[in-house]
Amino acid sequence: MKIDLNVGKWFYAVLAGNPAVVQLVQSRIYPVNPSLATGFPCITYRRLSSDIPTCQFGLAGPIRPTVRVSAWDRNYDNAVAVSSAVLAALTGGQLPVTPLAGIRVSQLIPKDAGDEFYQPMDGSKDSYQAPYLDFLVNYQVV
């Protein structure tokens, strides 16, 4: 769905354009969970749900997906540091005024936070930990 791709591209553009985030993860920002071959630390983002208000005449308000941004590493303290940089990048200043990725985000609302844990099913003893941040995104396609 094009709407979801635009939101993902927006998150990528904002995170990849933030010097503090790039210093920690370089270019390891992905729209899917990391694989064993992925370098760490890294960031993933994904849409959890979408609220698209409609009426008989079409769209009745801003599209509001919930997006989860996770900071992955084998070391939990490192993952927390990346998560803090993500939070600062997304909520610490002004949202981009000019549209990015074909959308204009009018509001980014922190909704939930927690931890994810991933144990690969390949028999390895590696595990990955990820503090996550969920955001409700108000935006319009431009």
Of the CATH numbers 3.30.2000.30, 1.25.10.10, 3.40.50.150, 3.40.630.10, which one belongs to the domain with range 2-141? Answer: 3.30.2000.30
Quote the Cα angle for 66-113-7, to 5°: 25
Q: List average pLDDT for each run of 10 residues in the chain, which is 142 residues long.
A: 70 94 95 78 89 76 84 90 93 78 86 82 72 88 79
DSSP letter for each residue of 14-58:
HHHT-HHHHHHHTT-EESS---TTS-SSEEEEEEEEEE--EETTE
Whether the pTM exceeds 0.75: the reply is: yes
Per-residue model confidence (pLDDT) at position 1: 37
Per-residue model confidence (pLDDT) at position 123: 66
Per-residue model confidence (pLDDT) at position 93: 72
Q: If you ran DSSP here, which 8-state letter would residue 102 be given?
A: T
Per-residue model confidence (pLDDT) at position 2: 41
Per-residue model confidence (pLDDT) at position 15: 95
